[in-house]
Each structure stands twice: as structure tokens, then as C-alpha cells.
Amino acid sequence: MGIILKNGKLLNEQGELSIKDLLIVENRIVKIESNIEAEADHEVVDLNGHFIAPGLVDVHVHFREPGFEAKETIETGAHAAVAGGYTTVACMPNTRPVIDRVETVEFVLHKAKQANLARVLPYAAITVRQLGVEHTDFAALQQAGAFALTDDGVGVQSTKMMVEAMQKAKALGMSVVAHCEDNDLLPPGAALHDGVTAAKHGLPGIPSASEAVHVGRDILLAEATGVHYHVCHISAKESVRLVRDGKHAGINVTTEVTPHHLLLCDEDIPDSLDPNWKMNPPLRSREDRDALIAGLKEGSIDIIATDHAPHTSEEKAKGLKRAPFGIVGLETAFPLLYTHLVEKGILTLAELVDKMATKPAELFGLPYGKVEVGAIADLAVFDLTTEKSINPDHFKSKGKNTPFAGWVCKGWTVLTMVDGKIVYNN
């Protein structure tokens, strides 16, 4: 038994596309050739010249379960993932209860296994209930299947708590992943970047320093402890500079950027102050956005992650001040970035695939992100030519909260395979 994917386009080492067939047996790619002859027990799927990429890997999603199932469940989130070409995703622990105990890690893994769609890897919280007061049991959480450690949603305010967490994580070979935000620098009720749009509307703004101060602190702590330290959703030019300097100094620091921070800035926010433009960190200045693109191109920024953050329509309808932070991203990330970075010559297709699949797997020691003989058959197939507009009503996610509604893109997912099994076929 096996599956032959016929007439797909693969990137070669020169970054060019050529037509190939893939033979998948059980969960591995066993052959990549120009024309594989089908045998009686082979299922043949004709890809009609569409692009075959390694399954995308997102190290930053919010699937909301347990506790906030009205926003998203592990099943609906995993469905959104495979509809966007993602085969492996890591879900954040700011659920209720927080993913800070062995039982909750096991609950997430069980729900993901039941859904049988994308591979879902749970983060564990650094501190109990993410309160920043007491460390969780890292060793027990790791043994239960925790992917890495983070208090995402809040910054770890205590330097002492953070350095001790890094020491413990280093001893276990775990990564520390940080939402960088110094609460002392946040004005009450701030919802936008401290920039032109906040000033125009007379609103308090979130300063870039609130992020950069923690980035700088933690890079120094990572140097002292030797831990792998990863910065979530980087947004400010100062933070990019600090990461670049840290890398040059040989510190094990990596970072991710979201599609929305690459494509939008605070000047783009409509005068209606639509809460679908409210996210944390906020959309920053045009200069910040340019620094993020430059950082991604040069390698200071390692990978792209969506920070997929679904909320209900009722919550987002509460207006800018009261609506929760966050937008969805799993189903639109590849089309948006292919259309607005690759088609415009900012990144090559090979670079985009590296940032969305190969490099995230490498950074966190996962055996995915490759299309080669012997590799696990995690694959995403994209239509790079058909244009379609983004319609939140068609999302598999429960969340419809996106500022990209109506944007016309190419690069839509036509097929996703996880572990040798087709889990999405459009």
C-alpha cells in the first residue's frame, strides 16, 4: 500500500520548481522521481502542477481549550491548521485551567489525538497559573509531553523568576519562550502602539520599550545560563537590534515574527478603530515594519509564526478599548506572505518555506519540515496561481477576527498530509 502524489512541483537546490512524483509508504517519503509507475495497491493523487512544500510548522497558536471553547477548540484549531497547510502547531498555555499541570498537558494531547488532524504540541507554563510567583514542575511537564516553556499572554516580570526558570530549563534541555512585556511601562487601557494612530485619536499608546526592555534583559540571562531562549511575536525595531546583537555575541537567542507585523503598520488602522486590528504586541510604526522585514531577510529573525488568537464576534464587537487582543492567522498566513512577499520579490519561495516549515522544526529539534527521501510525509500542497479573496465566513476556525478580510491572494492550500495521511483535500 502507498500513495503516489503525481505532477507536483518541488523546489530544487537552486530554488527552481520542477515537476516530480512522490511515493509515500506508511508515513515516509520513499521515492521522489520524475515519473513513478503506479502499482495495483497504490492510491494516485494528481496534483495538477501545484506546489508541494513541507508541512508548515507554527510554534505559536492559541487553541483556547480547555476553558474558552466558544473561541476555539483543539479540533477546530487543528482543522484551521491543516486548511492553512500547517501539519505541526504548538499551542500556548493561557487556557483555563492554565496548562501548568501534567493532567492538562495530557488532556491537550488526548484531544489532539481524537481530532486526528494536525499534530498539536502543548506548551507548559513557566509559572503556576501564569502568575509569576512560583515555578511549575518542568521535569514532570516535559515527561508528560510539554513542547517548551512559556507564560505567553503575560511577560515574566521578575528577573529572579526568569533566570531560575532558564537554569532549570537548560538542565532539562527545554526551550524558554517569552512574551516580552514590561508591565511597568504600560499605560492603563492602552490598545494601540504609541505612534501616529494613537496620537491622532487621543489614545494612550503601548511603547516599543515595553517589549525591548524584556528582550534585552532575557538575552543577557540566556547568555548567563546557556538556555535556548526564543522571543515571541517580535514587533519593535529596538528588539530586532537586540536580537541581532545577541546572535553576534554567540548567545542562543531566536525569534519569530507574525504575518500581520510584516504586512501592516499602525498607519493602516482604519479611522473606525475596528477591534479586528487590535493585537498584542500592537501594529507598530512603518519603520518597525521595515526593520522586521529586513531582520527576516538577514536572519536576525529566524521564523514566521501566526500567533493565531481566535475570539468570538461578540467579544470583538465591544469596541477597541474593551475588545480582547488578537487575530486569527492559520488559514491566511501562507497566501498573504506568498502574495505580498514572494510575488513582490521581497523573499524567494524557498526562503518563505524555510521560515515557515524547515527552520521552525530545526530550532525546536522536531523531525519535520523536509521534503526528501526518508523524511516523515508531512506535506502541504499550494495553488500558486488562483486568486481568491479572504472570506472569514469560510474559515474552519471558530474565530473570524482578521484585518485581512477582502484581501485578494494566491497560494491557497489544496491538500495537506500529516504522517502519510491526507487530512485536508480541497
CB 166 within 8 A of CB 150: no
Does 307 appear as a known binding residue?
A: yes
Cα–Cα separations (whole angstroms), residue 309 to 155, 190, 235, 263, 275: 17, 19, 16, 17, 13
Does 391 appear as a known binding residue?
A: no
Does 394 appear as a known binding residue?
A: no
Does 326 appear as a known binding residue?
A: yes
Does 378 appear as a known binding residue?
A: no
Task: Verify whether residue 307 is a known catalytic residue.
Answer: yes
CB 86 within 8 A of CB 69: no
Does 233 appear as a known binding residue?
A: yes
Does 94 appear as a known binding residue?
A: yes
* Peptide linkage before 187 cis (omega within 30 of 0): no
Rounded to whole angstroms, how far apart are CA atoms 301 and 197?
Answer: 26
Rounded to whole angstroms, how far apart are CA atoms 309 and 362?
Answer: 24
Among 307, 354, 378, 383, the active-site one is: 307
CB 155 within 8 A of CB 182: yes
Instruction: Determine the residue type at 143.
Output: Q
- Complete edge-to-edge strand list for the sheet that includes strand 176-178: 149-150, 176-178, 229-231, 253-257, 303-304
Does 201 appear as a known binding residue?
A: no
Does 62 appear as a known binding residue?
A: yes
User: Considering Cα of 209, then 210, then 211, then 212, what sign does the dihedral take?
Assistant: positive
CB 225 within 8 A of CB 167: yes
Does 230 appear as a known binding residue?
A: no
Does 155 appear as a known binding residue?
A: no
What angle, rounded to 10 degrees, do the helices at 209-225 and 159-172 form?
40
Rounded to whole angstroms, how far apart are CA atoms 168 and 174?
Answer: 9
CB 181 within 8 A of CB 154: yes
**Which residue ranges are tagged as binding site for Zn(2+)?**
60, 62, 152, 179, 233, 307
**Which residue ranges are tagged as binding site?**
60, 62-64, 94, 152, 179, 233, 280, 307, 311, 325-326
Catalytically annotated residues: 307
**Which residue ranges are tagged as binding site for substrate?**
62-64, 94, 280, 311, 325-326
